[in-house]
Structure 1
Amino acid sequence: MGIQGADHKSGPLPGVYRIDPEASKVRFRMRALFGLFPIKGTLSVAHGRIAVEEPESASTVEAVIPVDSFASGHAQRDRHVRSADYLDSALHPEIRFHGGDVRRADGEVTVHGELTVRGVARPVVLTLSQVEVDGSRLALQATAVVDRYEFGVTHAKGMTGRRLRIALDVVAVR
Structure 2
Amino acid sequence: MNMKTLISSAILMGTMAGTLATTAQAADYTIDTKGAHASINFRVSHLGYSWLEGRFNEFGGQFSYDEANPSAANVSVEINTASVDSNHAERDKHIRSEDFLDVKTYPKANFKSTSFTANADGTAVLNGDLTLHGVTKAVVLLVSKIGEGQDPWGGYRAGFTGTTEFKMKDFGITKNLGPASETVYMELHVEGIRQ
Helix, strand or coil: the match of 2:85?
Answer: coil
What secondary structure does 1:92 align onto?
coil
* Distance (whole Å) between structure 1 residues aligned to residue 118 and residue 145 of structure 2: 14
Change (3 A) 1:168 1:45: farther
Instruction: Report the RMSD for the aligned CA atoms in angstroms.
Output: 1.9
Larger fraction in helix = 2
Instruction: Tell me which residue corresponds to 1:132.
Output: 147
Unmatched runs of 5 consecutive residues or more in structure 1:
1-12
Tell whether 2:180 aligns with 1:166. Answer: no
- The match for 1:95 is 109
Contact 2:57 2:85 in 1 (8 A): no
- C-alpha displacement at 1:72, in angstroms? 0.8
Alignment of 1:111 onto 2:126: yes
Identity of aligned residues (%): 27
Match of 2:5 in 1: none
SS at structure 2 position matched to 1:99: strand
Alignment-derived partner of residue 52 in structure 1? 65
Cα deviation digits, residues 35-80 of structure 1 (max 9, x gap): 1121011113521000125632121100011111111111111111
Contact 1:58/1:100 (<8 A) preserved: no
CA displacement, residues 52-111 of structure 1 (integer Å, 9 cap, x when unaligned): 256321211000111111111111111111111100110111110001300134744111
Query: Greater CA radius of gyration, 1 or 2?
Result: 2
2:32 to 20, 28, 35: 20
TM-score normalized by structure 2?
0.77
Q: What is the match of residue 11 of structure 2?
A: none
Q: Specify every segment of 5 or more residues in structure 2 that has no aligned partner in the other structure, as ranges.
A: 1-24, 151-155
Q: How does 1:69-88 map to 2 (within 5 A)?
A: 69-88=83-102
Structure 1 moving runs of 4+ over 4 Å: none
Which residue identity lines up with residue 45 of structure 2 in the other structure? Answer: R
CA–CA distance in structure 2, aligned partners of residues 86 and 29 of structure 1 = 14
1:147-162 to 2 correspondences below 5 Å: 147-158=167-178, 161-162=181-182
CA shift, 1:160, in A, is: 6.9
Aligned residues: 162
**Could you tell me which residue of structure 2 aligns to residue 35 of structure 1?**
48
